[in-house]
Structure 1
Amino acid sequence: MQLTGVLQIRSYEKIKEFLNEEHVGRVSSIDPNGFPQIIPMNFVFLNDAVYMHSHVKGEKLDNISRNNKVGFEADRELEFLPSYFEDPHNASLADTLYISVVIKGMGFFVSDREEKTLALNGLMEKYQPEGQYDPIQSNMRVLDAVSVIKIIPQTIHGKYKIGQHMRPDDRIDLAQKILERNSASAIQTLKIMGFEVTPMGLKMTDEPVW
Protein backbone atom coordinates (compact mmCIF):
# COMPACT_ATOMS: atom_id res chain seq x y z
CA MET A 1 0.00 0.00 0.00
CA GLN A 2 1.38 3.40 -1.00
CA LEU A 3 1.09 5.66 2.05
CA THR A 4 2.55 8.91 0.69
CA GLY A 5 -0.77 10.52 -0.20
CA VAL A 6 -2.58 9.12 2.81
CA LEU A 7 -0.01 10.60 5.20
CA GLN A 8 0.07 14.06 3.62
CA ILE A 9 -1.33 16.97 5.64
CA ARG A 10 -3.60 18.71 3.16
CA SER A 11 -4.91 21.44 5.47
CA TYR A 12 -2.76 24.57 5.62
CA GLU A 13 -4.61 25.52 8.81
CA LYS A 14 -3.50 22.24 10.42
CA ILE A 15 0.09 22.96 9.40
CA LYS A 16 -0.09 26.42 10.96
CA GLU A 17 -1.69 25.01 14.09
CA PHE A 18 1.10 22.46 14.42
CA LEU A 19 3.86 25.05 13.91
CA ASN A 20 2.24 27.33 16.47
CA GLU A 21 2.32 24.51 19.04
CA GLU A 22 5.87 23.24 18.49
CA HIS A 23 8.70 24.83 20.47
CA VAL A 24 11.74 23.57 18.56
CA GLY A 25 12.40 23.71 14.84
CA ARG A 26 15.56 22.98 12.88
CA VAL A 27 17.00 25.31 10.29
CA SER A 28 19.41 24.00 7.68
CA SER A 29 21.86 26.23 5.82
CA ILE A 30 24.77 25.41 3.51
CA ASP A 31 28.33 25.88 4.79
CA PRO A 32 31.32 27.01 2.64
CA ASN A 33 32.15 23.39 1.76
CA GLY A 34 28.63 22.62 0.55
CA PHE A 35 27.58 20.63 3.62
CA PRO A 36 24.26 21.27 5.37
CA GLN A 37 24.47 22.76 8.84
CA ILE A 38 21.41 21.98 10.99
CA ILE A 39 20.66 23.99 14.12
CA PRO A 40 17.73 23.62 16.57
CA MET A 41 15.99 26.95 17.10
CA ASN A 42 13.03 28.54 18.82
CA PHE A 43 10.72 29.99 16.18
CA VAL A 44 7.37 31.57 15.49
CA PHE A 45 5.22 31.24 12.35
CA LEU A 46 3.73 34.65 11.54
CA ASN A 47 2.14 35.98 8.37
CA ASP A 48 3.09 32.82 6.48
CA ALA A 49 6.79 33.08 7.36
CA VAL A 50 9.12 31.53 9.94
CA TYR A 51 10.92 33.97 12.28
CA MET A 52 13.84 33.12 14.56
CA HIS A 53 16.11 35.30 16.67
CA SER A 54 19.85 34.84 16.90
CA HIS A 55 23.11 36.40 17.97
CA VAL A 56 24.41 38.95 15.49
CA LYS A 57 27.34 36.70 14.54
CA GLY A 58 27.55 32.97 13.87
CA GLU A 59 28.05 30.27 11.30
CA LYS A 60 24.42 30.02 10.25
CA LEU A 61 24.30 33.78 9.64
CA ASP A 62 27.43 33.55 7.50
CA ASN A 63 25.91 30.65 5.60
CA ILE A 64 22.65 32.48 4.89
CA SER A 65 24.56 35.61 3.84
CA ARG A 66 26.42 33.55 1.29
CA ASN A 67 23.55 31.29 0.14
CA ASN A 68 20.06 32.07 1.38
CA LYS A 69 18.45 28.83 0.26
CA VAL A 70 17.47 27.16 3.53
CA GLY A 71 15.46 24.28 4.92
CA PHE A 72 13.33 24.24 8.04
CA GLU A 73 11.74 21.30 9.85
CA ALA A 74 9.62 20.71 12.94
CA ASP A 75 8.36 17.34 14.13
CA ARG A 76 6.67 15.62 17.03
CA GLU A 77 6.91 11.96 17.97
CA LEU A 78 3.47 11.05 19.21
CA GLU A 79 3.98 7.43 20.16
CA PHE A 80 6.52 4.68 19.65
CA LEU A 81 4.79 1.46 18.67
CA PRO A 82 6.81 -1.52 19.92
CA SER A 83 7.22 -4.46 17.57
CA TYR A 84 5.34 -6.79 19.93
CA PHE A 85 2.13 -4.91 19.14
CA GLU A 86 2.23 -6.97 15.92
CA ASP A 87 4.63 -9.87 16.48
CA PRO A 88 6.86 -10.54 19.54
CA HIS A 89 9.48 -12.15 17.30
CA ASN A 90 9.82 -9.53 14.54
CA ALA A 91 11.65 -6.36 15.54
CA SER A 92 11.20 -4.86 12.06
CA LEU A 93 7.53 -4.21 12.84
CA ALA A 94 8.35 -1.44 15.35
CA ASP A 95 6.85 1.87 14.17
CA THR A 96 6.15 5.46 15.24
CA LEU A 97 3.16 7.75 15.13
CA TYR A 98 4.26 11.31 14.32
CA ILE A 99 3.57 14.75 12.84
CA SER A 100 6.14 16.66 10.79
CA VAL A 101 6.39 19.76 8.61
CA VAL A 102 9.25 20.46 6.19
CA ILE A 103 9.82 23.85 4.56
CA LYS A 104 12.14 24.82 1.74
CA GLY A 105 12.58 28.54 1.32
CA MET A 106 14.68 31.66 1.27
CA GLY A 107 16.30 33.10 4.39
CA PHE A 108 16.60 36.82 5.03
CA PHE A 109 17.78 39.08 7.84
CA VAL A 110 15.05 41.43 8.99
CA SER A 111 16.24 45.04 9.07
CA ASP A 112 12.90 46.84 9.31
CA ARG A 113 12.47 47.71 12.99
CA GLU A 114 8.68 47.34 12.96
CA GLU A 115 8.88 43.85 11.47
CA LYS A 116 11.69 42.92 13.84
CA THR A 117 9.56 44.09 16.76
CA LEU A 118 6.60 42.08 15.47
CA ALA A 119 8.73 38.92 15.27
CA LEU A 120 10.31 39.31 18.72
CA ASN A 121 6.97 40.02 20.37
CA GLY A 122 5.52 37.05 18.49
CA LEU A 123 8.22 34.84 19.97
CA MET A 124 7.49 36.14 23.47
CA GLU A 125 3.75 35.56 23.07
CA LYS A 126 4.37 32.01 21.92
CA TYR A 127 6.90 30.98 24.57
CA GLN A 128 5.61 33.07 27.49
CA PRO A 129 1.84 33.15 26.99
CA GLU A 130 1.30 34.01 30.66
CA GLY A 131 2.72 37.47 29.95
CA GLN A 132 4.48 39.24 32.83
CA TYR A 133 6.88 41.14 30.57
CA ASP A 134 6.94 44.53 28.89
CA PRO A 135 6.37 44.23 25.13
CA ILE A 136 9.32 45.15 22.95
CA GLN A 137 9.11 48.54 21.28
CA SER A 138 10.64 49.41 17.92
CA ASN A 139 12.78 52.15 19.44
CA MET A 140 14.49 49.88 21.97
CA ARG A 141 18.24 49.36 21.70
CA VAL A 142 17.78 45.61 22.24
CA LEU A 143 16.75 45.35 18.58
CA ASP A 144 20.31 46.19 17.59
CA ALA A 145 21.71 43.40 19.80
CA VAL A 146 19.93 40.52 18.03
CA SER A 147 19.45 39.27 14.51
CA VAL A 148 16.05 38.14 13.30
CA ILE A 149 16.04 35.53 10.55
CA LYS A 150 12.98 35.28 8.33
CA ILE A 151 12.28 32.25 6.15
CA ILE A 152 9.84 32.80 3.32
CA PRO A 153 8.60 29.35 2.27
CA GLN A 154 8.79 28.23 -1.33
CA THR A 155 7.28 24.84 -0.45
CA ILE A 156 5.63 23.48 2.70
CA HIS A 157 5.00 19.77 3.13
CA GLY A 158 3.33 18.21 6.15
CA LYS A 159 2.99 14.54 7.07
CA TYR A 160 1.13 12.85 9.88
CA LYS A 161 0.74 9.23 10.88
CA ILE A 162 -1.97 8.61 13.46
CA GLY A 163 -3.46 5.37 12.14
CA GLN A 164 -5.53 7.00 9.39
CA HIS A 165 -4.14 4.45 6.91
CA MET A 166 -5.58 1.54 8.92
CA ARG A 167 -8.95 -0.16 8.85
CA PRO A 168 -11.29 1.04 11.63
CA ASP A 169 -11.07 -2.23 13.61
CA ASP A 170 -7.28 -2.18 13.41
CA ARG A 171 -7.16 1.46 14.55
CA ILE A 172 -9.30 0.63 17.57
CA ASP A 173 -7.06 -2.34 18.36
CA LEU A 174 -3.96 -0.12 18.09
CA ALA A 175 -5.55 2.52 20.32
CA GLN A 176 -6.32 -0.12 22.96
CA LYS A 177 -2.71 -1.33 22.91
CA ILE A 178 -1.45 2.23 23.29
CA LEU A 179 -3.79 2.72 26.25
CA GLU A 180 -2.62 -0.50 27.90
CA ARG A 181 1.07 0.33 27.38
CA ASN A 182 0.32 3.61 29.18
CA SER A 183 3.27 5.72 28.07
CA ALA A 184 3.56 9.33 29.25
CA SER A 185 2.15 10.52 25.94
CA ALA A 186 -0.57 7.88 25.51
CA ILE A 187 -3.65 9.94 26.44
CA GLN A 188 -2.63 12.89 24.27
CA THR A 189 -1.82 10.56 21.37
CA LEU A 190 -5.21 8.89 21.64
CA LYS A 191 -6.90 12.30 21.62
CA ILE A 192 -5.06 13.25 18.42
CA MET A 193 -6.05 9.89 16.93
CA GLY A 194 -9.70 10.74 17.64
CA PHE A 195 -10.29 8.65 20.77
CA GLU A 196 -11.52 9.55 24.22
CA VAL A 197 -10.79 7.49 27.33
CA THR A 198 -13.99 7.01 29.32
CA PRO A 199 -14.86 4.88 32.40
CA MET A 200 -16.43 2.44 29.93
CA GLY A 201 -13.28 2.24 27.80
CA LEU A 202 -12.19 3.83 24.54
CA LYS A 203 -14.66 5.89 22.55
CA MET A 204 -14.00 7.21 19.06
CA THR A 205 -14.96 10.87 19.07
CA ASP A 206 -14.18 11.70 15.44
CA GLU A 207 -12.25 10.60 12.40
CA PRO A 208 -9.39 13.11 12.11
CA VAL A 209 -8.65 14.14 8.56
CA TRP A 210 -5.88 16.64 8.06
Structure 2
Amino acid sequence: MQLVGILQIKSYEKIKEFLHDEHVGRLSSIDINGFPQIIPMNFVFLNDVIYMHSHVRGEKLDNISRNNKVGFEADRELEFLPSYFEDPHNASLADTLYISVVVKGTGIFVTNRDEKTLALNGLMEKYQPEGKYDPIESEMKVLDAVSIIKVVPNTIHGKYKIGQHLKPKDRMELAKNILKKNSPSSRQTLKIMGFEETADGLRMIDEPIW
Protein backbone atom coordinates (compact mmCIF):
# COMPACT_ATOMS: atom_id res chain seq x y z
CA MET A 1 0.00 0.00 0.00
CA GLN A 2 1.32 3.46 -0.91
CA LEU A 3 1.03 5.45 2.32
CA VAL A 4 2.44 8.81 1.19
CA GLY A 5 -0.87 10.29 0.03
CA ILE A 6 -2.86 8.74 2.87
CA LEU A 7 -0.51 10.22 5.50
CA GLN A 8 -0.35 13.72 4.00
CA ILE A 9 -2.13 16.53 5.85
CA LYS A 10 -4.14 18.23 3.13
CA SER A 11 -5.91 20.77 5.34
CA TYR A 12 -3.97 24.01 5.84
CA GLU A 13 -6.24 24.77 8.79
CA LYS A 14 -5.11 21.53 10.47
CA ILE A 15 -1.48 22.49 9.93
CA LYS A 16 -2.11 25.90 11.49
CA GLU A 17 -3.96 24.30 14.41
CA PHE A 18 -1.06 21.91 15.01
CA LEU A 19 1.57 24.67 14.90
CA HIS A 20 -0.54 26.75 17.26
CA ASP A 21 -0.63 23.90 19.79
CA GLU A 22 3.03 22.82 19.64
CA HIS A 23 5.47 24.56 21.95
CA VAL A 24 8.81 23.43 20.51
CA GLY A 25 9.97 23.56 16.91
CA ARG A 26 13.40 23.01 15.36
CA LEU A 27 15.14 25.57 13.20
CA SER A 28 17.72 24.31 10.73
CA SER A 29 20.35 26.53 9.17
CA ILE A 30 23.63 25.85 7.35
CA ASP A 31 26.82 26.49 9.29
CA ILE A 32 30.11 27.89 8.01
CA ASN A 33 31.35 24.39 7.11
CA GLY A 34 28.21 23.49 5.17
CA PHE A 35 26.67 21.29 7.86
CA PRO A 36 23.08 21.70 9.05
CA GLN A 37 22.68 23.17 12.52
CA ILE A 38 19.39 22.25 14.22
CA ILE A 39 18.21 24.10 17.31
CA PRO A 40 14.99 23.69 19.34
CA MET A 41 13.09 26.97 19.53
CA ASN A 42 9.91 28.45 20.93
CA PHE A 43 7.85 29.84 18.05
CA VAL A 44 4.55 31.28 16.97
CA PHE A 45 2.84 30.78 13.60
CA LEU A 46 1.26 34.12 12.85
CA ASN A 47 0.00 35.60 9.59
CA ASP A 48 1.30 32.54 7.71
CA VAL A 49 4.92 32.95 8.85
CA ILE A 50 6.92 31.57 11.76
CA TYR A 51 8.38 33.96 14.33
CA MET A 52 11.07 33.08 16.87
CA HIS A 53 12.99 35.26 19.28
CA SER A 54 16.70 34.94 19.92
CA HIS A 55 19.70 36.56 21.57
CA VAL A 56 21.22 39.21 19.30
CA ARG A 57 24.36 37.10 18.73
CA GLY A 58 24.77 33.43 17.97
CA GLU A 59 25.75 30.81 15.41
CA LYS A 60 22.26 30.46 13.95
CA LEU A 61 22.16 34.21 13.29
CA ASP A 62 25.55 34.04 11.58
CA ASN A 63 24.35 31.08 9.53
CA ILE A 64 21.22 32.88 8.33
CA SER A 65 23.25 35.99 7.51
CA ARG A 66 25.40 33.90 5.15
CA ASN A 67 22.64 31.69 3.76
CA ASN A 68 19.01 32.54 4.38
CA LYS A 69 17.65 29.18 3.22
CA VAL A 70 16.32 27.49 6.35
CA GLY A 71 14.21 24.58 7.47
CA PHE A 72 11.75 24.32 10.33
CA GLU A 73 10.08 21.27 11.84
CA ALA A 74 7.61 20.49 14.62
CA ASP A 75 6.34 17.06 15.58
CA ARG A 76 4.32 15.21 18.18
CA GLU A 77 4.58 11.54 19.04
CA LEU A 78 1.05 10.46 19.85
CA GLU A 79 1.59 6.83 20.76
CA PHE A 80 4.31 4.22 20.44
CA LEU A 81 2.80 0.97 19.20
CA PRO A 82 4.74 -2.01 20.57
CA SER A 83 5.36 -4.91 18.22
CA TYR A 84 3.38 -7.31 20.42
CA PHE A 85 0.17 -5.53 19.42
CA GLU A 86 0.45 -7.61 16.23
CA ASP A 87 2.93 -10.42 16.95
CA PRO A 88 4.62 -11.66 20.16
CA HIS A 89 7.93 -12.26 18.37
CA ASN A 90 8.34 -9.94 15.36
CA ALA A 91 10.04 -6.72 16.54
CA SER A 92 9.80 -5.17 13.06
CA LEU A 93 6.08 -4.55 13.60
CA ALA A 94 6.68 -1.80 16.19
CA ASP A 95 5.30 1.53 14.95
CA THR A 96 4.39 5.06 16.05
CA LEU A 97 1.34 7.29 15.65
CA TYR A 98 2.43 10.88 15.08
CA ILE A 99 1.84 14.34 13.61
CA SER A 100 4.58 16.40 11.96
CA VAL A 101 5.00 19.55 9.89
CA VAL A 102 8.11 20.43 7.86
CA VAL A 103 8.75 23.89 6.42
CA LYS A 104 11.35 24.97 3.86
CA GLY A 105 11.71 28.69 3.55
CA THR A 106 13.62 31.93 3.91
CA GLY A 107 15.01 33.22 7.19
CA ILE A 108 14.67 36.97 7.71
CA PHE A 109 15.75 39.20 10.61
CA VAL A 110 12.84 41.46 11.52
CA THR A 111 13.95 45.06 12.02
CA ASN A 112 10.62 46.90 11.89
CA ARG A 113 9.66 47.69 15.48
CA ASP A 114 5.95 47.23 14.92
CA GLU A 115 6.52 43.76 13.47
CA LYS A 116 8.90 42.84 16.29
CA THR A 117 6.22 43.93 18.74
CA LEU A 118 3.62 41.85 16.92
CA ALA A 119 5.87 38.78 17.07
CA LEU A 120 6.77 39.15 20.75
CA ASN A 121 3.16 39.70 21.78
CA GLY A 122 2.17 36.71 19.66
CA LEU A 123 4.71 34.58 21.53
CA MET A 124 3.41 35.81 24.89
CA GLU A 125 -0.21 35.10 23.96
CA LYS A 126 0.75 31.58 22.92
CA TYR A 127 2.92 30.63 25.86
CA GLN A 128 1.18 32.64 28.58
CA PRO A 129 -2.50 32.53 27.57
CA GLU A 130 -3.60 33.29 31.12
CA GLY A 131 -2.29 36.84 30.65
CA LYS A 132 -1.06 38.60 33.82
CA TYR A 133 1.45 40.78 31.95
CA ASP A 134 1.51 44.15 30.24
CA PRO A 135 1.64 43.85 26.45
CA ILE A 136 4.94 44.77 24.81
CA GLU A 137 4.95 48.12 23.03
CA SER A 138 7.08 49.20 20.10
CA GLU A 139 8.97 51.93 21.98
CA MET A 140 10.22 49.57 24.71
CA LYS A 141 13.99 49.04 24.96
CA VAL A 142 13.49 45.26 25.20
CA LEU A 143 13.03 45.22 21.42
CA ASP A 144 16.69 46.21 21.04
CA ALA A 145 17.82 43.33 23.26
CA VAL A 146 16.37 40.52 21.15
CA SER A 147 16.49 39.38 17.55
CA ILE A 148 13.33 38.21 15.84
CA ILE A 149 13.77 35.55 13.18
CA LYS A 150 10.97 35.24 10.65
CA VAL A 151 10.69 32.14 8.49
CA VAL A 152 8.69 32.79 5.34
CA PRO A 153 7.62 29.38 4.03
CA ASN A 154 8.28 28.33 0.47
CA THR A 155 6.71 24.95 1.17
CA ILE A 156 4.81 23.47 4.11
CA HIS A 157 4.25 19.73 4.28
CA GLY A 158 2.37 17.94 7.04
CA LYS A 159 2.06 14.24 7.82
CA TYR A 160 -0.11 12.41 10.30
CA LYS A 161 -0.56 8.77 11.20
CA ILE A 162 -3.54 8.07 13.43
CA GLY A 163 -4.75 4.77 11.96
CA GLN A 164 -6.36 6.20 8.82
CA HIS A 165 -4.29 3.75 6.72
CA LEU A 166 -5.99 0.75 8.38
CA LYS A 167 -9.21 -1.05 7.61
CA PRO A 168 -12.01 -0.26 10.12
CA LYS A 169 -11.72 -3.63 11.86
CA ASP A 170 -7.94 -3.28 12.24
CA ARG A 171 -8.29 0.31 13.43
CA MET A 172 -10.74 -0.75 16.12
CA GLU A 173 -8.37 -3.51 17.23
CA LEU A 174 -5.54 -0.98 17.42
CA ALA A 175 -7.71 1.37 19.48
CA LYS A 176 -8.54 -1.43 21.92
CA ASN A 177 -4.87 -2.27 22.32
CA ILE A 178 -4.01 1.39 22.97
CA LEU A 179 -6.73 1.58 25.61
CA LYS A 180 -5.52 -1.64 27.22
CA LYS A 181 -1.92 -0.41 27.27
CA ASN A 182 -3.19 2.63 29.21
CA SER A 183 -0.21 4.90 28.62
CA PRO A 184 -0.41 8.51 29.91
CA SER A 185 -1.31 9.64 26.37
CA SER A 186 -3.64 6.80 25.39
CA ARG A 187 -7.00 8.52 25.89
CA GLN A 188 -5.90 11.70 24.16
CA THR A 189 -4.58 9.59 21.27
CA LEU A 190 -7.89 7.75 21.00
CA LYS A 191 -9.73 11.06 20.90
CA ILE A 192 -7.50 12.29 18.07
CA MET A 193 -8.12 8.98 16.27
CA GLY A 194 -11.86 9.66 16.49
CA PHE A 195 -12.79 7.17 19.23
CA GLU A 196 -14.97 7.64 22.28
CA GLU A 197 -14.93 5.43 25.36
CA THR A 198 -18.48 4.41 26.33
CA ALA A 199 -20.03 2.03 28.85
CA ASP A 200 -20.26 -0.54 26.05
CA GLY A 201 -16.63 -0.10 24.98
CA LEU A 202 -14.93 1.97 22.32
CA ARG A 203 -16.98 3.60 19.59
CA MET A 204 -15.76 5.55 16.59
CA ILE A 205 -17.64 8.82 16.49
CA ASP A 206 -15.52 10.71 13.96
CA GLU A 207 -13.53 9.94 10.83
CA PRO A 208 -10.66 12.42 11.10
CA ILE A 209 -9.61 13.34 7.58
CA TRP A 210 -6.99 16.04 7.57
Q: TM-score range by the shorter chain?
A: over 0.9
Distance 1:114 1:172 in 2: 51
Aligned length: 210
Q: Give the alignment of 1:62-81 within 5 angstroms.
A: 62-81=62-81
**Structure 1 consecutive aligned stretches of length 4 or more whose deviation exceeds 6 Å:** none
Distance 1:141 1:153 in 2: 29
Distance 2:118 2:137 in 1: 9
Aligned residue number for residue 122 of structure 1: 122
TM-score by length of 2: 0.99
Residue identity in the other structure for 2:11: S
Distance 1:206 1:198 in 2: 14
Aligned residue number for residue 133 of structure 1: 133
What's the % identity of the aligned pairs? 80
Q: Give the alignment of 1:77-116 within 5 angstroms.
A: 77-116=77-116
Aligned residue number for residue 207 of structure 2: 207
Distance 1:188 1:206 in 2: 14
CA RMSD in angstroms, aligned pairs only? 0.4
Give unpaired runs (5+ residues) of structure 2: none
Encode CA deviations 1:182-206: one digit per residue, 9 max, x unaligned: 0000000000000011222111111
Q: Secondary structure at the residue paired with 1:158?
A: strand
Distance 1:19 1:200 in 2: 35
Distance 1:113 1:72 in 2: 24
Encode CA deviations 1:6-49: one digit per residue, 9 max, x unaligned: 00000000000000000000000000110000000000000000
Shift of 1:176: 0.3
Q: Secondary structure at the residue paired with 1:108?
A: strand
Residue identity in the other structure for 2:84: Y
Residue identity in the other structure for 2:174: L
Residue identity in the other structure for 2:32: P
